[in-house]
Amino acid sequence: MMLENRKALVTGASRGIGKAVADLFLAHGAEVWGLDVREPEDLAERVEKAGGRLRWIAADLGDLAGVDAVVKAAAGEAGGFDVLVNNAGITRDGLSFRMSLADWQKVLDVNLSAAFFISRTVGWDMISRKRGGSIINMASVVGVHGNGGQANYSASKAGLIGVTKSLAHEVAGRGVRVNALAPGFIESDMTAALPQEVKDNMMGRIPFGRFGRPEDVANAALFLASDLSSYVTGQVLPVDGGMFT
């Protein structure tokens, strides 16, 4: 039980990587607060399976002022969070010269600005309660290497890496660690919709010869959330099967 008696806030927890992270944290004894734009259809089943240790917050991360207030209220009700995983993210792909301002701004708001404000709110609460904590930001390999047709998404993830490193400097002296994960091609509803030609091209670039699973990322998040990484901060850990080795 690597997270026994700890409380974690996981955004984008209804499916994919976020769900895998929430489930793994629960399996290791944490109380998990999931935050997403809507409740998952199987929420009651998941709460029952978790023995009541799963709580839920329905909030739109695009509403920056609203979500900040919701997170403050949740932190107060929970008695503070020990772990924060900023996992929620969206895409609005398109070539740069055709990308609308709305598609650019929406991705930046949800993927970067919301994660910054939530990190600031939860991080300050961690400091105020003098018990430290771990903040984990879900970046991406495209935030490091870029990707055609994803200028907005790549910018949001590159920005998240910058926030991670800057915030790590600011809060390390107060016992709060801030790190990022950079997943590669992970099996999800989002990647399932890609053309087979794109999938085949991606597979050819992965030395492991398989796409990642949400559980692969969740395992890395567990490491960063637990005491096993107690001397690790300001780092970006790729989870990409060697795609960019």
Domain that holds residue 95: 7-238
Confidence tier at 186 by pLDDT (50, 70, 90) = very high
Of the candidates 168, 166, 182, the residue with the CA atom closest to the CA atom of residue 133:
168
pLDDT score at 181: 98
On the question of pLDDT at 49 being above 80, the answer is yes
Confidence tier at 203 by pLDDT (50, 70, 90) = confident
Q: Is residue 85 part of a domain?
A: yes
Q: Is residue 162 part of a domain?
A: yes
Q: Residues 28, 1: contact at Cβ < 8 Å?
A: yes
Q: Is residue 20 part of a domain?
A: yes
Confidence tier at 32 by pLDDT (50, 70, 90) = very high
pLDDT score at 198: 78
Confidence tier at 216 by pLDDT (50, 70, 90) = very high
Q: Round to whole Å and give the CA distance between 234 and 213.
A: 24
pLDDT score at 192: 77
Confidence tier at 96 by pLDDT (50, 70, 90) = very high
pLDDT score at 38: 87
Q: Is residue 2 part of a domain?
A: no
User: Model pTM greater than 0.85?
Assistant: yes
Of the candidates 126, 212, 210, the residue with the CA atom closest to the CA atom of residue 174:
126
Q: Is residue 243 part of a domain?
A: no
| pLDDT, averaged across the chain | 94
Strands 31-36, 83-86: parallel, antiparallel or unpaired by DSSP?
unpaired
Q: Is residue 149 part of a domain?
A: yes
Q: Residues 107, 149: contact at Cβ < 8 Å?
A: no
Confidence tier at 39 by pLDDT (50, 70, 90) = confident
Q: Is residue 132 part of a domain?
A: yes
Report percent pLDDT > 70 for the chain. Answer: 100
pLDDT score at 191: 76
pLDDT score at 193: 74
Confidence tier at 174 by pLDDT (50, 70, 90) = very high
Of the candidates 238, 40, 4, the residue with the CA atom closest to the CA atom of residue 141:
238
Q: 190 vs 64, 90, 143, 160, CA distance in Å?
A: 24, 9, 17, 20
Instruction: Just list the catalytic residues.
Output: 153
On the question of pLDDT at 88 being above 90, the answer is yes
Give residue-wise pLDDT tens across range 103-119.
999 999 999 999 999 99
Q: Is residue 33 part of a domain?
A: yes
Name the domain count of the chain. Answer: 1
Report percent pLDDT > 90 for the chain. Answer: 83
Q: Round to whole Å and give the CA distance between 209 and 3.
A: 32
CATH code at position 148: 3.40.50.720
